[in-house]
Amino acid sequence: MVDFSQLVDELSERSRIAERQAVTEEATKTSVILPLLQAWGFDIFNPSEVIPEFIADVGTKKGEKVDFAVKIDGKIAMLVEAKPITSKLGEAQFSQLFRYFSVTEARLAILTNGREAWFFSDTDAPNKMDKKPFFKFDFQAYDSDQIEELSRFRKQKFAIEQIIEAASTLKYTRAASNYLKSQLEDPDDEFIRLIGRQIYDGSITKNVAEQLKPAIQSALDELIRDRIQDRLSITFNSKAANAPAEEEPQFDSVEDDDGIVTTEEEKEAHRIVRAIGARVVNVQRIAMRDAKSYCAILMDDNNRRPICRLYFNAAKSKSIVIFDSDKNETKHKIETIEDLYQHASAIEAVIRSYGE
């Protein structure tokens, strides 16, 4: 039996092809949405499970259609509305999905363009679809945790109460995450005062808050870097502990068949760039691709999305080229690998331009 993660990988490839070739809503349905329902275990050719062009009259609105209604045990479990893969979901109109949600027994609604899928429920008010999705899945950029969330909607393990409970948790987690992310980027006065009361004896006046703000920002940055480094250390130590006793000793560099040498310094630089980008994107999206003359660090392992290039092969000097969102290059000399943190703002800016 094919593993669910393999099915998701296949969907990812379909999504990439559709983005290049599919321009209509119908093409998106055929290339991505129906295979998604199939991956969840639904019989897309059985109208008692998957109903295309589902009609349910809503008040004075007659004959409106939602692209798919999905049934489990004879009851409508979810509604699916499709948009062309060329459209942006944030700008999409999905009023039909909102209206249908209130007149059917479905408690889940999905809006998708074949590149992303947004999942809605009624966590704010019963039988009324939330205005914001509780979960977003990007078919072309995901991690194992997101695959696990996506697997909740499989027919064989579909449990609506557990899904709604998870939806509520995800909603508040996302809200907290967005708040903390905004504070990491530019802490507001209230947040500065909250932290300031724990570290400063006396009243937090406006002048005191302005003095504390840079220190609090630096502390947050340091905390994030330390957290990432700790996780990386745990991962690497775990791999080392599980390695066979007869394994060959590790050297400071690895050479492949093309004569390309990936050094420990390049690996450490890759980890630092990941630590810098951790506030913006999932670190798994920040990849390293070595070459003979330089080592490239790329977003999504895509050479059209360069973050920086490491020039560490010279005997007496090291340098880094950092790109901006327009692919312009800026070269910096560095003394030590840790000097990369001095260019964190530029590195984060280019990562952010790709990650949004």
pLDDT score of 249 more than 50: no
**Cα(328)–Cα(140) distance, rounded to whole angstroms?**
26
Query: Is the model more confident about 321 or about 100?
Result: 321
11 and 96 fall within a common domain: yes
Q: What is the pLDDT of residue 242?
A: 55
Kindly report, residue by residue over 139-171, the tens digit of the pLDDT: 988 888 889 889 889 998 888 777 777 777 777
21 and 136 fall within a common domain: yes
Tally of domains within the chain: 3
Query: Is the model more confident about 45 or about 261?
Result: 45
Kindly report, residue by residue over 191-229, the tens digit of the pLDDT: 888 988 888 888 888 888 888 888 887 777 777 766 666
pLDDT score of 1 more than 60: no
Q: What is the pLDDT of residue 251?
A: 36
159 and 288 fall within a common domain: no
216 and 123 fall within a common domain: no
pLDDT score of 273 more than 70: yes
**Cα(116)–Cα(7) distance, rounded to whole angstroms?**
16
162 and 270 fall within a common domain: no
Residue among 214, 230, 221, 219 at smallest CA distance from 344: 221
Residue 80 has a CB neighbour count (10 Å cut-off) of 25
343 and 210 fall within a common domain: no
pLDDT score of 283 more than 90: no
Residue 143 lies in a domain: yes
72 and 99 fall within a common domain: yes
Task: With H, G, I as helix, E, B as strand and everything else as coil, classify residue 254.
Answer: strand
Q: What is the pLDDT of residue 258?
A: 52
Domain extent at residue 292: 253-355
Kindly report, residue by residue over 7-63, the tens digit of the pLDDT: 999 999 999 888 888 677 888 888 899 999 999 999 999 999 999 988 865 555 566
Kindly report, residue by residue over 115-136, the tens digit of the pLDDT: 999 999 888 787 788 888 888 8
Q: Give the CATH number, domain containing residue 168.
A: 3.90.1570.30
Residue 183 lies in a domain: no
Which of 142, 174, 206 is the last residue before a domain boundary?
Answer: 174
